[in-house]
Amino acid sequence: MQNRITKLAQCVFFLVISSCSVNETVEPNVMALEFSHDKISPTMSEYVDSVSYLVLKENDVNALGNINRLVIDNNLIYAGDYRLKKISVFSIDGEPKFVLDKQGRGPGEYLEIKGFSVLGKNLYVLDNYNHKVHIYDSFSGEFVKSLKLPAIFDDIEALDNGGFLLAYSPQKSETGRSKKLRYRVVVADNKMQIINGYLSYQEQEQDAISFQLNFTVYGDKILFASFHKDSYYIFDRKDGRHLRTVSIQSKTSIPEDLRSDVKAVHGNYSHLFAVPYECKEYAYFTYYHDEHAFGYLAVLNERKIVSNSEKSAKNNIIGVIGGCDDYFIGYIQSSSNYDMLVKYGFPKADSLDEAAIHRDEPFLIRYHMK
């Protein structure tokens, strides 16, 4: 049973799962967390107050194959499927509202959704193929305008002051990126002019792997992570200032000089596997070790890390794709995965939600934290 719960959790993760004056200084406000597998207790469920379900009502237009990014803003749920290149929007109760599905090269159309951000009245789509950020009305999906990108980026978040945070992970194929853009995180103004940069890298530097997402958001905080270090960086959503760094320290972590070596990724080393999500005083993160990726919970005010139980699935936190208010948001594909979890103690949905789950309608799991 222990192995089946562990393997199911792993399976769920992989399915979800101009001129400028640049200041690259990351302030020395660092919280260090020790990752030592033999010291981590399987007590994650003790920090969960309750579990609830939300079924997303699909139709022929808004159906999703997967949810790569989920944003809750404006009392709406924005679920992005990057492969299908669309964003389905639901009410906070799961009722369909509208779908952003404007693929093409014309005005207001995009060739990819590399990333997207929602803030207030605007929904922003990062489209490297068209070299633009497209802006849409976040309540209707109507096109507003586009901004020209100064370079290719991997992710985007909008700032309260009208500017943007943009993320980039250097790859082997990179050519001709100017020195002023050689930062993993840059701050741009409302006209997409670069005004600041953090975490510089050298021209020959590259990351062995790229994360699907580089940014997550919780309240007024933007979290950034990439493969270059087992840390995540917290920025102020008001203006993009760096606030704090959380470092996950392990004796088996990949050395810096091997971070460009793909062989090291799947070797005997350990490393952060995705950008974390925060909620209240917790951070949920995925960490690779012993040839598998596992989910962990950092209890930040206690500076400790806990794991799910392998003996019972009761209140285990699985498939996290977001954090909002007092809960983490999980996404599990297929009713068979749900049935397997329930068999080993995971809380059941009520009869109406369970019937929808068994019709294979998509559903979210809310882990309400203590």
Residue 87 identity (one-letter amino acid): I
Q: Is the pLDDT of residue 16 over 50?
A: no
The number of angstroms, rounded, from the C-alpha of 229 to the middle of its chain's C-alpha atoms is 16
Q: Which residues, other chains included, contact 175 with Cβ-Cβ below 8 Å and sequence gap of 6+?
A: none
pLDDT in tens, 292-342: 899 999 999 999 999 999 999 999 999 999 999 999 999 998 899 999 999
Q: Which pTM was predicted?
A: 0.92
Residue 321 identity (one-letter amino acid): I
Q: Is the pLDDT of residue 32 over 70?
A: yes
Q: Which residues, other chains included, contact 369 with Cβ-Cβ below 8 Å and sequence gap of 6+?
A: 47, 48, 49, 279, 280, 282, 326, 327, 328
pLDDT in tens, 269-292: 999 999 999 999 999 999 998 888
How many folded domains does the chain comprise? Answer: 1
pLDDT in tens, 208-265: 999 999 999 999 999 999 999 999 999 999 999 999 999 999 999 999 888 988 888 8
3-state secondary structure labels for all residues of 31-85? EEEECCHHHCECCHHHHEEEEEEEECCCCCCCCCCCCCEEEEECCEEEEEECCCC
- pLDDT confidence bin for 157, thresholds 50/70/90: very high
Residue 120 CB neighbours (<10 A): 11
pLDDT in tens, 45-81: 999 999 999 999 999 889 999 999 999 999 999 999 9
Q: Which residues, other chains included, contact 34 with Cβ-Cβ below 8 Å and sequence gap of 6+?
A: 249, 250, 305
Using CA atoms, how far apart are residues 337 and 345, in angstroms rounded to an integer? 13
| CATH number, position 207 | 2.120.10.30
Can you give the residue range of the structural domain that contains 59?
2-369
CA distances from 14 to 7, 212, 285, 320 (A): 11, 11, 14, 11
